[in-house]
Amino acid sequence: MARAGQSSEKAALIYQHSDRERQQEVADALVRAARAKAKEKPSGADLVRDA
């Protein structure tokens, strides 16, 4: 019920399952975005290997 915002506890419980699924979708999208961004910039180990 972290982001619920419903007017009653009963309504919050009804939507709790889908809310967890949505939070997982958001987290997965953030991980994908972070990994894509990390691939754009070489790490220090990559720079040393290429030297």
For tokens 């809310």, what's the residue? 19
* Domain with 21 in it: 9-50
CB atoms within 10 A of CB 31: 10
Domain tally, the chain: 1
* Residue 36 lies inside a defined structural domain of this protein: yes
For tokens 């007017």, what's the residue? 7
For tokens 């975005």, what's the residue? 33
CA dist., res. 43 & res. 22, Å (int): 32
* Residue 38 lies inside a defined structural domain of this protein: yes
Whether this prediction's pTM lies above 0.75 is answered by: no
* pLDDT tens figures, 17-42: 667 888 899 999 999 999 998 887 76
What are 10's two structure tokens?
């009963």
